[in-house]
Structure 1
């Protein structure tokens, strides 16, 4: 790979950032006052979500959304979302700052609901469609949503609850008549999808949106306790919109190439993750609206269906969790399908083995994997790693994007020197205001504009971040810190291991023992002893798992793709303590 890069990098990282953020440059920055604090923001960023929505009219009859055999153009989407915005105001009395919840699968109606709320200054509240009826009702109560737009499955779950579990007025989408009762439907309000083009071509009601107005409440994954609602502004989202375009520009300058020109042909992205997650909403849907891309939706993730869609729809990119990319590359259909349209595969939301980017490079010559680091609280992207930088540092999530400042702190909040291991803090225009209706959690996670991520990292002299562990999940075995990602990467280097998770098992003497849960590939006969022998030359003895649990089924994950380690920890602890 080094020979392929030849004289790379031709420009240092510092010089690359200087070139790209200088006056009149594409990523020019300025410092403004936000809530009494100086924040560096992109001078050429969109002002707010409504500006993007209005600009989307220029894409006209381009296809915006594909779902199975349904297609929705930008024109049809604009008229449908605008029509719904008027009905929300006229029929439901939605005012600026009111909360409008969305609870459904990735149907074409999801973006219609989102943009209808966002363009009238309401706060869009995407709820986790995987949640139970009680989870959904909690989100409606906690956010104080006055209206909720829900699909048939979510409506049935809410209808199963006792009356009074929430006070939101419901609008049903794709719901059969026997569960709708008196609930109004989106079709009744704006007509069927087949008639969207005939809807009035008029703008939504004007609400004088300011960049620092509240725009979204996105609930965190909630792997421990109740989810918290991250309150994001229009500026947060606009900052992220620019952040996600930076990686390709940085790669071009680093290799000495000119900046890539805007594409003449429409780009197509496959979306295998939920719209209600920050990646699906902020980093896929909103950019597609801004740049005229086509989004191809999946009812449910299936690797063979994904490869068929890549071939049929000429998909250029896909953004999912690492396990999805592994499944694509190792599917028997990968060689049989025409995937030549792919320009790269990006992934995040969970730790990615360095082997994955090498696999992408080997199977897709001249193309790159991409990864990064972000959170709901940072409106998605805070660091990014791609192209030659990723090949050179496949174990890093990359350096900060220009809109973010990073620092590493100790438990007392003191800033640590370069190379030290500590907790990552993030500051920037993409960092949300705090948690909705939760001042205690806000005070614990946000300090003078800095967001405490809870993630343990180290950062090298050039600013590349290496994610080591979650602070709350880090193991301490006999006084020694054990970073799970290091062991998980070593496990994933084994050709028979498809997924891996390291968890702590309580131990009376050492406090915690290292436990490993691995999912093997089809047909593998891997044993626990073989796993240990694979790790022995790669890790210090105290990091070797005391218990190895081998499985063939997929490990439990949240909707955002994170492995639910709490569940695995409980299961492994029970097995370890069982007699015999």
Structure 2
């Protein structure tokens, strides 16, 4: 791949390891120390907030800056912190005790972060439930977590109502944005209307002892196969993530040979378009947490629409946007179609699913002022584990970046031995942001956690400087007649086709080879490429055995869960029967 023209001559001005060493040195803004966590020596940021209550106190200091925007509603940091404190005091008064689970089931609304921090400040374990779940799935989350309290919006409550009797631990329900129901208490009875939060009394925080290693959150895994698992995160795990973006930005300055700018309280407020659901760790820890730490404004959307997003970016002066890679593709495509340059936008960051290297080039063509960013993480790493942006990303567009300096990586062979740089094996990770285990599931915990290390189930490699590249999920890798085929590699080639906006590679049964690669692709609006043309494009860029033998054109975007992962299980039926004699075939 030729160098990206956006990389300036003479870059990098400073080697990667030297830039990292300068930023993490004692006394620096990102200084690191090693402490013992549950018997495991662990690196931590010295200046990160130790608990989410400490992060809340930082947020309170942002005062009258606008924090949340949802349609015609606007909430300041003062309004948010007063509403959250009011709710926390009410929860404690109603009998909620440290370690109780308080479930949250709602779409992205101003009430979501108020509910989340109300639970945390009361000492409870905040338990976000997937707002896309059906009634029985929501009931499963309540049953599995043993939540005593539920805070829900009207749509989620309607789904759950027939199943409330199936949740014996549930003692109290608060609801918002719905007509009164005798089974629930309106949240507004406790905290008032959204527009009045700023006039609430400035109450003290509940006097509850909180330690960085106390349980704080219970997020449910994506559950693309089987029942979702409950990932239990500590206060430290959640709070660690807030340092990721400022650290990466500072590193980019040093790599360019420039001094990182000093914090300026008078600088214009950063404004982020929030598309990722808050019930996902990326939306909660990486987006919400970063906004609370840095005093940023979050602009919420009722649901994703690329053209509405363009309007919001211009109206609010959004400086950043993103989500999963598909959303970045759609945003860039909509901007090009509408001829809108989005001058306020200077960053587009995405994660949650593999991002094709070609996305970096596309963003550069359509939005040349934008600095692209990506990273890798999972529910079990409390969101961001690696982070990749600026010239480093332009130089390595297929990588998801280096681990944060407090994080460690090993690549293991099937026998558990550490592999050298450049070789592919299972990714194992360690750091202060790793969850402590799965709720009420010691067997699943023991299968993947050991001495502070987490076996991720991802196939990956690292280079000599520590930049990580995800190759595939172990369970998704295809084996054709003994040859390994990494689906991500093939998908990235398909993404590079100018007409393709979404792609997934799945196994096609074969009587002698076992399986061959097949692909399901979605086309950009107005595109007309056929299966054979896309297959020919792939054949020019891949070894013959990796080229999809069947390509199906999907109507619309591929089905994905809220984390951005393709729902492969439901798509496997497309290739359940092989083509005649295993020969290449195509479908539409």
Name the TM-score class by shorter chain: over 0.9
Runs of 4+ in 1 over 3 A off after TM superposition: 1-4, 332-338, 574-580
Q: Distance in 2 between matches of 1:334 and 1:32?
A: 52
Q: Distance in 2 between matches of 1:27 and 1:164?
A: 48
- 1:361 corresponds to 2:364: yes
2:509, 2:578 within 8 Å by CA — same for their partners in 1? Answer: no
- 1:487 corresponds to 2:459: no
Aligned to 1:104: 106
1:357, 1:368 within 8 Å by CA — same for their partners in 2? Answer: no
Q: Deviations over 1:284-310 (max 9, x none)?
A: 111211211100000100000100000
2:11, 2:256 within 8 Å by CA — same for their partners in 1? Answer: yes
- Which of 164, 167, 176 pairs up with 2:166? 164
Aligned to 1:250: 251
Shift of 1:45: 1.1
- Which of 76, 84, 89 pairs up with 1:86? 89
* Greater Cα offset, 38-47 or 180-189: 180-189
- 1:567 corresponds to 2:570: yes
Alignment of 1:66-85 (within 5 A): 66-85=69-88
What is the RMSD of the two structures over their aligned residues, measured on CA atoms? 1.8
- 1:9 corresponds to 2:12: yes
2:306, 2:330 within 8 Å by CA — same for their partners in 1? Answer: yes
Q: TM-score, normalised by structure 2?
A: 0.95
Q: Distance in 2 between matches of 1:495 and 1:144?
A: 49
Pair 527,365 (structure 1): closer, same or farther in 2 beyond 3 Å: closer
1:308, 1:337 within 8 Å by CA — same for their partners in 2? Answer: no
Shift of 1:3: 7.4
Q: Distance in 1 between matches of 2:9 and 2:19?
A: 18
Q: Distance in 1 between matches of 2:442 and 2:581?
A: 42
Shift of 1:569: 1.4
SS in 1 for 2:165: coil
Q: Distance in 2 between matches of 1:452 and 1:529?
A: 39
Alignment of 1:211-290 (within 5 A): 211-263=212-264, 264-290=267-293
Q: Distance in 2 between matches of 1:325 and 1:181?
A: 43
- 1:402 corresponds to 2:400: no
Q: Deviations over 1:186-234 (max 9, x none)?
A: 0122222233233221122111111111110111100000001111011
Shift of 1:246: 1.7
1:141, 1:167 within 8 Å by CA — same for their partners in 2? Answer: yes
SS in 2 for 1:5: coil
Aligned to 1:390: 393
Shift of 1:181: 3.1
Q: Distance in 1 between matches of 2:578 and 2:74?
A: 49
How many residue pairs are counted as aligned between the two chains?
577
Q: Deviations over 1:518-541 (max 9, x none)?
A: 001222222221121111121111
Q: Distance in 1 between matches of 2:31 and 2:525?
A: 50
2:345, 2:369 within 8 Å by CA — same for their partners in 1? Answer: no
Shift of 1:244: 3.0
2:173, 2:183 within 8 Å by CA — same for their partners in 1? Answer: no
Q: Distance in 2 between matches of 1:332 and 1:96?
A: 48
Shift of 1:52: 1.7
Pair 525,60 (structure 1): closer, same or farther in 2 beyond 3 Å: same
2:233, 2:435 within 8 Å by CA — same for their partners in 1? Answer: yes
Alignment of 1:496-511 (within 5 A): 496-511=499-514
Q: Distance in 1 between matches of 2:84 and 2:6?
A: 51
Q: Distance in 1 between matches of 2:16 and 2:167?
A: 53
Q: Distance in 2 between matches of 1:159 and 1:166?
A: 13
Shift of 1:575: 7.9
Q: TM-score, normalised by structure 1?
A: 0.96
Structure 1: stretches of 5+ with no match in the other structure: none
Alignment of 1:32-431 (within 5 A): 32-91=35-94, 93-161=95-163, 163-168=165-170, 169-177=172-180, 180-263=181-264, 264-331=267-334, 335-337=338-340, 339-431=342-434
Structure 2: stretches of 5+ with no match in the other structure: none
Aligned to 1:546: 549
1:243, 1:402 within 8 Å by CA — same for their partners in 2? Answer: no
Aligned to 1:23: 26
SS in 2 for 1:499: strand
Q: Distance in 1 between matches of 2:58 and 2:425?
A: 43
2:153, 2:176 within 8 Å by CA — same for their partners in 1? Answer: yes
2:429, 2:456 within 8 Å by CA — same for their partners in 1? Answer: yes
Pair 165,26 (structure 1): closer, same or farther in 2 beyond 3 Å: same
Q: Distance in 1 between matches of 2:227 and 2:375?
A: 26
SS in 2 for 1:517: strand
Q: Distance in 2 between matches of 1:337 and 1:10?
A: 34
Shift of 1:318: 1.2
Q: Distance in 2 between matches of 1:383 and 1:161?
A: 40
2:110, 2:194 within 8 Å by CA — same for their partners in 1? Answer: no
